[in-house]
A and B are shown apart, each in its own frame.
Chain A
Amino acid sequence: MSVNVSMTVNGKPVSAEVEDEMLLVNFLRDHLRLTGTHVGCDTSQCGACTIHVDGVAVKSCTMLAVQAEGSNVATIEGVSDGETLHPMQQAFKDNHGLQCGFCTPGMVMSALDIVKNNPSPTEQEVREALEGNLCRCTGYTNIVRSIIAGAKEMEAS
């Protein structure tokens, strides 16, 4: 069966006819061509697909597109201000918080969620809050540094 879904993605209203079983991540990537949101696993463990739905961080591989009907969705593509990186993105760049970059969109979306709930997190709090985001390259140290630096920058600006 297919169903019509409408939602707001990065501030723009979108609607489309999708199969009932379409995952939200596939809707974003295949229908909307927003390929910044990645898929790194099929067990809901890696967090590469992390986005915000109605202001809350979720794994878009573990939600159906129809479940986001009427929601406000934010993906990595909506984070920067045009060519100007968001302070959190800039912090990842400045602190060598990425290597291959595959996990990075999910890391940044989680980072923004962490800071929203806790504007100046400690290193331990950041590490615990990153439980659902896996990185195969960096060893996490520079990601944690980036998030703490990004949080400071966001508080200052």
Chain B
Amino acid sequence: MEAFNYRKAGSADEAVSTLASAADGKFLAGGMTLLPTMKQMLATPDTLVDLGGASELVGISRDGDNLVIGAMTTHATVAGSAEVHSAIPALAALASGIGDPMVRNRGTIGGSIANADPAADYPAAVVGLNATVNTNKRSIAADEFFVDVFETALADDELVVSVSFPIPAKAAYQKFPNPASRYAVVGVMVAQTGDGVRVAVTGAGPSVFRASSFEDALGGNFSASALDGLSVSADNLNEDIHASAAYRANLVGVMAKRAVAAC
């Protein structure tokens, strides 16, 4: 790993101002993606601003019909939270299926969505549940947040503060995990929300996307059989040693049906 300066921020404001004073700084959350990336020299920041001391970024609360999760809340905390289990059980289940116990003990929701790995789980929840990402500067709608492979709407110096999930009538997440890493080969979140049925797909494309033909079909008839005969196009889907684009396209249909059945 290249040398860098470590700075621990005591608050979100201090994190933002410390990052602003660095030439090429990065926020450090759980480090579960950033540190391995730095070991492989794929990232060489000159400064790491540790968010671990910013206690206002940790926590889960109810705000009317929304469940608000602080950026530094770990996957293990979300998975074990009674509040999440009662409001959005699908979200607790999703968090409990990320990686392994040690990854869940350190990895955070803010780090996961800022990183925007095409195979990450949380993006399916953010888009599927029509969440809002709150930063130090603004609120970003889920449909605007994820842009491309490892690319989000965040500016370089923008800090994710929390994610606000409207509580759905019903929701379920199903993934076909990579057997080694548990990342999603394909993962699908299906939700009945205030603005209709949403179907968000992760793992299959360069970035999370909505399967609009599935949403339309489920809007008329919310049952797995409503998806019979429907499919997403394999064009532009990911292809690697784990699965071809055509296989992923098929999995989208299979996971979506399983998610509807699990709702």
Contacts and interface: CB of A to CB of B under 8 A. Distances in A.
Nearest to A47: B102
Contact of A21 (B1, B8, B36, B181): B1
Given A42-B36, A62-B32, A1 B6 contact: yes
B150 interface: no
A43 interface: yes
Q: Among the interface residues B4, B36, B52, which one has the most CB atoms of the partner chain A within 10 A?
A: B36
Given A43-B36, A45-B181, A67-B31, A20 B4 contact: yes
B182 interface: yes
B103 A132 contact: yes
Nearest to A42: B39
A50 interface: yes
A81 interface: no
A21 B3 contact: yes
Contacts of B52: 67
A133 B102 CA distance: 9
Contacts of A113: 101
In the A-B complex, the 6 residue pairs with the smallest Cβ-Cβ separation, listed nearest first, are: A132-B100, A131-B100, A20-B6, A59-B102, A44-B36, A132-B102
B25 to A, nearest CB: 13
B236 interface: no
Interface residues of A, number: 29
A32 interface: no
Interface string B83-106: 000000000000000011111011
Given A1-B5, A20-B5, A58 B102 contact: yes
Contacts of A21: 1-4, 6
A57 B76 CA distance: 11
Interface of B: 1-6, 8, 31-32, 35-36, 39-40, 48, 50, 52, 99-103, 105-106, 180-182
Contact of A57 (B1, B48, B102): B102
A64 interface: yes
22 contacts: A1-B3, A1-B5, A20-B4, A20-B5, A20-B6, A21-B1, A44-B36, A44-B103, A45-B180, A47-B100, A56-B105, A58-B105, A58-B106, A59-B102, A59-B106, A62-B31, A63-B35, A66-B8, A110-B101, A129-B101, A131-B101, A132-B101
A131 B4 contact: no
Contact of A62 (B4, B40, B106, B181): B106
A58 to B, nearest CB: 5
Contacts of A16: none
A105 B32 CA distance: 21
Nearest to B50: A67
Contacts of A1: 3, 5-6
Given A1-B6, A45-B180, A62-B36, 8 more contacts: A1-B5, A20-B3, A21-B3, A42-B36, A58-B105, A62-B31, A62-B35, A113-B101
Q: Among the interface residues A19, A44, A59, A114, which one has the most CB atoms of the partner chain B within 10 A?
A: A44
A137 interface: no
Q: Among the interface residues B31, B52, B181, which one has the most CB atoms of the partner chain A within 10 A?
A: B31
Contacts of A62: 31-32, 35-36, 106
Contacts of B181: 45
Contacts of B4: 20-21
